[in-house]
């Protein structure tokens, strides 16, 4: 019996290909003659399923990873979006059947619910959380720590937030707008964007992702399945906190020494997580913020829709969940660029350049 479940999916086809080679090397395309398109289609025919491995966190706190069998970059038609919605719903139902009291919807699984997470929670009688509150809090804590290390003041920074009308983007925007010199809020839906920036000081709305290149600090929290920014085009000294899954930034083949690009919204865990799968994270002690929120809530016996994708995430809400996670040993992760831990020396070189 489990108390929590974590819902996820491969970030893209390359991630899926890596997972298949890890689990069933005999099914690699070169052995079966199946094209990449064929492999993706076969994967999408598989129902959402629970991994065999159980995550043992503490006495009576055990969980399962449930894989939702879709790829974000293939959700391009209403039919595909509807199919992904049903896969997420089925995964939540499976979590309930396995005994979970709460399920965390990672990556695009929360996006496929389109603001109906509370409705599904009531229907299935299981708590559901997107994990957006802790993800936002962790990203902001990572940024504050980095700026302090670089002896930079947020009040002097122009900040661009990609995905500013979304759950995580709006949370970061609301937290930083009173503190930053200027905020460029970027999102595709202009009407929604205008409504979330209307009461914020020094905040300017844009639907053009290229406007992010003006910023000193970029927070990428989009729901885009395709990259929107290129490291090669960043201005000198720029800092990018990429929270996106999949990533929002196309990184240079060789890291630029005059910019900082790191994965944001991650937690360092007191435990080593062995999911028997490549999670896309560089260390078994790292965990996505959305999953960390779910685990922290389960450890506290707080089976609630803490981040529901509908209610505005406030600074107070972020502080509450960050303190709860910290009480169980979770803390903001050190900065990684892909698999590389960014040392103080690497970080300080940015100022020198």
Confidence band, pLDDT 50/70/90 cuts, at residue 347 = confident
Please count the residues of the chain: 353
Tell me the pLDDT tens digit for each residue of 214-231. 999 999 999 888 889 999
The whole-number pLDDT of residue 22 equals 77
Long-range CB contacts (within 8 A, 24+) of 212-216 = 212/160, 212/162, 212/184, 212/186, 213/238, 214/158, 214/160, 214/184, 215/157, 215/158, 215/159, 215/160, 215/184, 216/157, 216/158, 216/159
Lowest-confidence region among 226-230, 239-243, 345-349: 345-349
Burial string for 148-162 (b: 16+ CB within 10 Å, else e) reads eeeebebeebbbbbb
Mean pLDDT of the 185-195 span: 92
Residue 351 has pLDDT above 70, yes or no: no
Q: How far apart are CA 160 and CA 345, in angstroms?
A: 26
CA distance 268 to 291: 12
How far apart CA 259 and CA 191 sit, in angstroms, is 33
Residue 145 scores a pLDDT above 90: yes
pLDDT at 352 over 70: no
Domain boundaries, the chain: 4-133+267-331, 136-266+334-352
pLDDT of residue 69: 96
Going by C-alpha positions, the residue among 5, 218, 219, 246 that lies closest to residue 103 is: 5
Name which CATH class applies to 136-266+334-352. Answer: alpha beta
**Residue 223, helix vs strand vs coil:** coil
pLDDT tens-place string over residues 64-120: 999 999 999 999 999 999 999 999 999 999 999 999 999 999 999 999 998 899 999
Say which residues have a Cβ less than 8 Å from residue 59's Cβ, sequence separation at least 6.
none
Half-sphere exposure of 342 (CA within 13 A, CB side): 23
Residue 222, SS3 per DSSP? coil
In angstroms, how far apart are the furthest CA atoms of the chain? 58
Q: State residue 159's pLDDT score.
A: 98
For residue 76 the two structure tokens come to 């391009």
Q: What is the C-alpha end-to-end distance of the chain, expressed in Å?
A: 54
Averaged pLDDT, 257-281: 86
What is the rounded CA–CA span in Å between residue 131 and residue 110? 9
pLDDT at 29: 73
Nearest residue to 292 (alpha-carbon basis) of 311, 323, 269: 269
**What is the reported pLDDT for 271?**
84
- Encoding tokens for residue 346? 């690497």
């Amino acid at each position: 019996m489990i108390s929590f479940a974590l819902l996820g999916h491969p970030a893209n086809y390359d991630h899926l290909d890596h997972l298949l080679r890890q689990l069933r090397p005999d099914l690699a395309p070169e052995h079966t003659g199946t094209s990449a398109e064929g492999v993706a289609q076969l994967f999408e025919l598989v129902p959402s399923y629970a991994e065999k491995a159980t995550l043992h966190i503490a006495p009576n706190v055990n969980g399962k990873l449930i894989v939702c069998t879709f790829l974000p970059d293939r959700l391009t038609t209403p039919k595909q979006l509807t199919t992904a919605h049903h896969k997420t719903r089925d995964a939540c139902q499976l979590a309930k059947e396995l005994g979970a009291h709460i399920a965390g919807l990672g990556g695009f699984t929360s996006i496929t619910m389109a603001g109906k997470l509370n409705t599904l929670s009531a229907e299935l009688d299981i708590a559901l959380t997107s994990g957006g509150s802790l993800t936002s809090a962790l990203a902001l804590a990572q940024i504050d720590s980095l700026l302090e290390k670089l002896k930079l003041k947020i009040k002097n920074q122009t900040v661009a937030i990609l995905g500013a009308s979304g759950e995580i983007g709006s949370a970061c925007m609301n937290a930083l707008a009173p503190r930053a010199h200027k905020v460029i809020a970027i999102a595709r839906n202009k009407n929604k964007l205008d409504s979330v920036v209307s009461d914020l000081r020094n905040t300017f709305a844009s639907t053009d992702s290229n406007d992010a290149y003006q910023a000193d600090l970029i927070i990428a929290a989009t729901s885009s399945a395709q990259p929107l920014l290129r490291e090669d085009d960043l201005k000198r000294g720029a800092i990018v906190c990429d929270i996106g899954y999949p990533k929002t930034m196309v990184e240079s083949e060789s890291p630029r020494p005059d910019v900082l690009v790191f994965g944001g919204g991650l937690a360092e865990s007191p435990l080593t997580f062995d999911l028997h799968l490549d999670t896309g994270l560089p260390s078994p002690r790292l965990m996505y913020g959305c999953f960390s929120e779910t685990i922290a809530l389960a450890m506290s016996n707080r089976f609630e829709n803490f981040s529901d994708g509908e209610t505005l995430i406030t600074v107070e809400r972020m502080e509450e969940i960050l303190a709860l996670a910290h009480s169980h040993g979770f803390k903001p992760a050190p900065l990684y660029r892909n698999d590389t831990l960014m040392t103080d020396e690497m970080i300080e070189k940015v100022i020198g350049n």
